[in-house]
């Protein structure tokens, strides 16, 4: 069986590489899953032209311990130095995987913020406990938004307080497409024209999109996966049942099956789909206040 045939089969089976749920533009969704409160449009802003998608493989049974430590000690301490902790998640399909997103205003800010944090008192005090939970922390993709409107649209003021214990309802889906070099340049436009309408017809609303940030890693103490050409979409669902309904709708679509052949020809590896549940203090935690194209 050729790689292309394998990719086509996998794309049809996996389906639903991302999705979201649209809300009327005059009824913003409160990020904290509290009773509805009015939110001014000015509260929401596009965050982080540079984003790290970080996947940590942990020792069995250590994920909750790391998340508790992370949300208690590593959010405000990083943001005070210029980083933005966008979200932290449990992967539903791998109980020993911790996924989180960290953003920066630019690569210069990234180098300064990371230097200050990893040489500072908070990391020195808690690094041994954090590292003890980890098997590997080097699976990191350095990303930039496809275009300015593709960045995360969030309100930093709505992050839950440190005392928050209950994780929000909802499902964030992140999909990573590993692109052939020849397909990387025009892939975002092809995707918008060829696949996005089908996904919208099946109930999906993508809310953020990224490609590889080509700048060299300017903080080599923390490795990133260099030499990759990726395209990453994020979407949200009310729950797993909503995700399954979306996947079923795509399964029934003959046009979708035809387009997966074209998609497979642009990929060099199987897509990577992560079903993520936000941790209690994750800033990225539910569907965004407005749907963006």
Using a CB cutoff of 8 Å and minimum separation of 24, what contacts does 70-73 make? 70/100, 70/130, 70/279, 71/162, 71/279, 71/280, 71/281, 72/162, 73/122, 73/125, 73/126
* Six-digit token string for 181: 């070099």
Condensed to tens digits (0 to 9), the pLDDT of residues 220-254 reads 999 999 999 999 999 888 888 888 999 999 999 99
Which 8-state DSSP code applies to residue 70? Answer: H
pLDDT (0 to 100) of residue 291: 42
pLDDT (0 to 100) of residue 278: 96
Looking at the DSSP assignment, which residues form a beta bridge with residue 154? 45
* Six-digit token string for 122: 């908070």
Instruction: Decide: 212 and 142 in contact? Cβ < 8 Å.
Output: yes
Instruction: Decide: 91 and 274 in contact? Cβ < 8 Å.
Output: yes
Select from 176, 152, 175 the least CA-distant residue to 282.
152
Condensed to tens digits (0 to 9), the pLDDT of residues 270-288 reads 999 999 999 999 999 876 5
Structural domains in the chain? 3-23+43-278 (3.30.70.100)
CA distance 35 to 197: 32
pTM for this one?
0.86
pLDDT (0 to 100) of residue 244: 92
Which residue numbers in the chain have pLDDT < 50? 9, 13-42, 290-293
Residue 236 DSSP SS3: strand
pLDDT (0 to 100) of residue 82: 97
Select from 56, 227, 199, 19 the least CA-distant residue to 131.
56
């Amino acid at each position: 069986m050729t790689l292309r045939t394998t990719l086509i089969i996998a794309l049809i089976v996996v389906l639903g590489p991302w999705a979201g749920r649209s809300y009327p533009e005059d009824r913003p969704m409160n990020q904290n899953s509290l009773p509805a409160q009015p939110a001014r449009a000015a509260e929401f802003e596009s965050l982080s032209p540079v984003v790290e998608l970080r996947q940590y493989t942990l020792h069995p049974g250590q994920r909750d311990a790391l998340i508790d430590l992370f949300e208690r000690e590593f959010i405000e301490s990083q943001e005070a130095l210029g980083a933005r902790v966008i979200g932290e998640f449990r992967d539903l399909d791998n109980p020993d995987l911790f996924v989180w997103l960290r953003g920066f205003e630019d690569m210069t800010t990234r180098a300064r913020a990371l230097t200050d944090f990893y040489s500072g008192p908070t990391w020195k005090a808690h690094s041994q406990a954090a590292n003890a939970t980890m098997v590997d922390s080097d699976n990191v993709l350095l990303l930039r938004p496809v275009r300015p409107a593709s960045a995360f649209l969030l309100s930093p003021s709505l992050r839950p307080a440190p005392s928050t214990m209950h994780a929000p309802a909802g499902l964030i889906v992140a999909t990573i497409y590993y692109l052939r070099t020849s397909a990387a340049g025009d892939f975002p436009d092809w995707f918008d024209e060829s696949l996005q309408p089908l996904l919208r017809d099946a109930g999906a609303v993508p809310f953020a999109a990224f490609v590889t940030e080509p700048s060299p890693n300017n903080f080599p103490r923390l490795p990133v996966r260099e030499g990759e050409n990726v395209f990453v979409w994020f979407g949200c669902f009310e729950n797993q049942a909503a995700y399954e309904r979306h996947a079923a709708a795509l399964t029934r679509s003959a046009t979708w099956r035809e387009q997966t052949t074209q998609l497979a020809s642009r990929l060099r590896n199987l897509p990577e789909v992560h079903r993520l549940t936000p941790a209690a203090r994750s800033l990225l935690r539910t569907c965004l206040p407005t749907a963006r194209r």
